[in-house]
Chains A and B, each alone.
Chain A
Amino acid sequence: MRPDVELIGVTKRYGATVAVDGLSLLIPGGSYCCLLGPSGCGKTSTLRMIAGHESISAGDILLAGRNVTDLKPAERGTAMMFQSYALFPHLSALENIAFGPRMRGVGKAERLARAREFLRLVQLETMADRLPAQLSGGQQQRVALARALITRPKVLLLDEPLSALDPFLRGQMREELKRLQRELGITFIHVTHGQEEAMALSDLAVVMDHGRIAQAAPPREIFERPASAFVARFIGGHNVLELPQGRFAIRTDRTRLAPAAAGPDLAGPDRAGLNLAGQVTAVEYQGSAVRVVLRAADGQTAEALLPDASFHAAPVAPGEAATLGWSAQDAHALPPA
């Protein structure tokens, strides 16, 4: 049986507030799944319920077909990596990693040998005797990872694992997480509020909002066909516009710019609903691209992400009138508000 993770109507209530509202989701075994959403959307509660650190108000959690809803965290076949890493400050890196086997009664020589093996897996062999306080943030995270993996979980749960790292390390660790997941072949469930992180890592991205799933799909599908205005806004890179034909999401990199007087090819009447005229409010140089923000007469704002060469061929400045346009196939219809 594949070690799928299945959530069936999982609900978490804190008194009168509902943090997670009847969540149902199938995470295929061996996949990298990101739970994504703004703070307070219920993603961390969901992760903690899968881990067994939070009781479930209603619903069931199945792991490899086995109902684990009422099992203790260590009996589920999951391991968790905590946001603050939660390394034991009084134990060395090696002893932290050996903690799981030690609690299960594995002898000292054997558990230290195994811990050393996992220390090698995260490339920290030379740091075995350091205390957590003597390790950098990135090193602490690797120790936390090794400590979780030594229990040989079927599912690794990661609570915002990269949020405490600086941007450079974050990119590095991201690659490393993906590499480990591929090599170990186990399921990773990773909570994040960064859409970029989710897109880079996940096979299955689950966008959550107010305790419900807004969309669960491979990241490419989410980016190309966002299910709602919320998803389009949260995932970024989209203009969400109310047009005469309805509500649409249009990718900013597919949006083009024409000066107001550019003529009928962008601004003509036959192109109603495929353009938006207004005033440029901001121009941001981003290196390979230039971001142009425009405010229409009706108050809607939209932006275009232009390749630097095409922007510099016909530059605009804040305060100038301009029109944004796009082709019909790039306008993705959204359900009405």
Chain B
Amino acid sequence: MPGRAARLLLGALFAAFLLFLYGPTITIAILSFQGPDGGLTFPMNGVSTVWFTRLFQPQAVGDLGAAMRRTLALAAMVTACTVVVSLAAGMAFRRRFAGSGALFYLTLASLIVPSILVSLGIGLLFTLMEWEPAWYSSAFGAQLTWTLPFGLLIIFAVFNRFDRSWEEAARDLGATPWQGFRHVVLPIIAPGVVGIALFGFTLSFDEFARTLLTAGSGNTLPLEILGMTTTVTTPVLYALGTVSTALSFLVIGGALLGVRLLRRRRGA
């Protein structure tokens, strides 16, 4: 046990960390309930939900509803793609194949290259090829360069703890390779796969740098927010922050619940 002074110090550090982490979010959440005549800063001028209503009405600048729809659709595409490709790559990387090492480092390299350069590069390529950049094409690809390496790293960790004799036992008991994957591998690694989906979703949901120069004419939510911070001067901005935070928590909570249900379920 550390001494009393050390414990106090560690406790204070932890409290400061929590404050730093959640303070701004909580402040924004409070300010989003600002009264109709309130401004962007304290003091609160009454309490209302008027800014949440305004959020879904057309703004003078920007269209949050459309941006939100685009972001959710993009995040869903990125999540699905990340899960499927990571899973397949994880299975492939379990056996050494020619060039597997090089391919792995090549994949990781895209984590190291500055995001804004990736964005610039993809944007330039689309311009050169005279393709129209859009959230569902160029931005989709740009975000995958961010989420796929993460997905790959997670699936490596998952398979690291996977006992190969489970598959051998399945084979021994007459399972085809597909049956072995479907009834043994997949259920055992399911929590890890949910983790990859969560990662993919959250990374895409608030992705900024890689989307900046690849989204084309239709902004995603983070881009829209950036645009609004310079032009919008009402607590609608805060209401937006509160809604998107709540949405993130909802997704994570839903996923955790899913994992718990998976654990509890005993399929026969």
Of A2-10, A20-28, A58-66, A87-95, the one touching chain B = A87-95
Consensus secondary structure, chain A interface = loop
Given contacts A82-B165, A82-B168, A91-B267, 10 further A-B contacts (CB under 8 A): A52-B172, A53-B171, A73-B172, A88-B169, A88-B170, A90-B267, A91-B268, A99-B173, A103-B183, A112-B268
Consensus secondary structure, chain B interface = helix
Give the Cβ gap from B4 to chain A, nearest Cβ, in Å: 39
Knowing A82-B165, A82-B169, say if A90 contacts B174 (CB, 8 Å).
no
Residue total for B at the interface (Cβ-Cβ under 8 A): 20
Proximity bits, A142-183, B CB within 8 Å = 1, else 0: 000001100100000000000000000000000000000000
Query: How far, in angstroms, from A102 to B267 measured CA to CA in the complex?
Result: 12
B223 at interface (Cβ–Cβ under 8 A)? no
Give the Cβ gap from B103 to chain A, nearest Cβ, in Å: 23
What size tier do the contact residues of chain A reach?
20 to 34
Give the Cβ gap from B175 to chain A, nearest Cβ, in Å: 4
Q: Are A92 and B165 in contact (CB under 8 A)?
A: no
A100 at interface (Cβ–Cβ under 8 A)? yes
Q: Which of B170, B176, B267, B268 has the most CB of A within 10 A?
A: B268
B184: chain A residues at CB < 8 Å are 88
Q: Are B266 and A131 in contact (CB under 8 A)?
A: yes
Query: How far, in angstroms, from A336 to B174 measured CA to CA in the complex?
Result: 49
Residue from B166, B171, B172 within 8 A of A88 (CB atoms): B166
B166: chain A residues at CB < 8 Å are 86, 88
Knowing A84-B163, A112-B268, say if A90 contacts B188 (CB, 8 Å).
yes
Q: Are A80 and B172 in contact (CB under 8 A)?
A: yes
Nearest B residue to A82, CB-CB:
B165
> What are 22 A-B residue pairs whose CB atoms fall within 8 Å in the complex?
A51-B172, A52-B172, A73-B168, A73-B171, A73-B172, A74-B175, A79-B172, A80-B168, A80-B169, A82-B169, A83-B165, A90-B267, A92-B266, A92-B268, A95-B268, A99-B183, A100-B173, A103-B170, A103-B175, A103-B176, A147-B169, A151-B173
Q: Are A86 and B187 in contact (CB under 8 A)?
A: no
Nearest B residue to A87, CB-CB:
B169
Nearest B residue to A48, CB-CB:
B168
Give the Cβ gap from B186 to chain A, nearest Cβ, in Å: 10
Query: How far, in angstroms, from A79 to B268 measured CA to CA in the complex?
Result: 22
B170: chain A residues at CB < 8 Å are 88, 99, 103
B245 at interface (Cβ–Cβ under 8 A)? no
Q: Are B268 and A108 in contact (CB under 8 A)?
A: yes
Query: How far, in angstroms, from A9 to B172 measured CA to CA in the complex?
Result: 24
Q: Are A53 and B172 in contact (CB under 8 A)?
A: yes
Query: How far, in angstroms, from A84 to B166 measured CA to CA in the complex?
Result: 10
A72 at interface (Cβ–Cβ under 8 A)? yes
Query: Which 4 A-B residue pairs are closest in the complex by CB-CB distance?
Result: A74-B174, A100-B173, A86-B165, A86-B169
The total number of A-B Cβ pairs within 8 Å is 75
A104 at interface (Cβ–Cβ under 8 A)? yes
B168: chain A residues at CB < 8 Å are 53, 73, 80, 82, 86
Proximity bits, A289-324, B CB within 8 Å = 1, else 0: 000000000000000000000000000000000000
Give the Cβ gap from B84 to chain A, nearest Cβ, in Å: 21
A92: chain B residues at CB < 8 Å are 266, 268
Query: How far, in angstroms, from A91 to B266 measured CA to CA in the complex?
Result: 6
Residue from B174, B176, B266 within 8 A of A95 (CB atoms): B266
A80: chain B residues at CB < 8 Å are 168-169, 172
Nearest A residue to B262, CB-CB:
A90
Proximity bits, B29-43, A CB within 8 Å = 1, else 0: 000000000000000
Knowing A53-B172, A74-B173, A80-B172, say if A88 contacts B188 (CB, 8 Å).
yes
Residue from A52, A90, A100, A147 within 8 A of B187 (CB atoms): A90
Query: How far, in angstroms, from A86 to B175 measured CA to CA in the complex?
Result: 15
Q: Are B179 and A103 in contact (CB under 8 A)?
A: yes
Proximity bits, A255-282, B CB within 8 Å = 1, else 0: 0000000000000000000000000000
Q: Are B174 and A104 in contact (CB under 8 A)?
A: yes
Query: How far, in angstroms, from A80 to B179 measured CA to CA in the complex?
Result: 18
A216 at interface (Cβ–Cβ under 8 A)? no
Give the Cβ gap from A146 to chain B, nearest Cβ, in Å: 12
B179: chain A residues at CB < 8 Å are 103
Q: Are B165 and A151 in contact (CB under 8 A)?
A: no
A53: chain B residues at CB < 8 Å are 168, 171-172
B171: chain A residues at CB < 8 Å are 53, 72-74
Give the Cβ gap from A81 to chain B, nearest Cβ, in Å: 9
Give the Cβ gap from B192 to chain A, nearest Cβ, in Å: 13
B169: chain A residues at CB < 8 Å are 80, 82, 86-88, 147
A206 at interface (Cβ–Cβ under 8 A)? no
Interface members, chain A 28-85 (any B CB < 8 Å): 51-53, 72-74, 79-80, 82-84
Proximity bits, B253-268, A CB within 8 Å = 1, else 0: 0000000000000111
A79: chain B residues at CB < 8 Å are 172-173
Nearest A residue to B179, CB-CB:
A103
A151: chain B residues at CB < 8 Å are 173-174
B266: chain A residues at CB < 8 Å are 90-92, 95, 129, 131
Proximity bits, A92-117, B CB within 8 Å = 1, else 0: 10010011101110001000100000
Nearest A residue to B175, CB-CB:
A103
Query: How far, in angstroms, from A259 to B184 measured CA to CA in the complex?
Result: 66
B176: chain A residues at CB < 8 Å are 103
B187: chain A residues at CB < 8 Å are 88, 90
Proximity bits, A212-251, B CB within 8 Å = 1, else 0: 0000000000000000000000000000000000000000
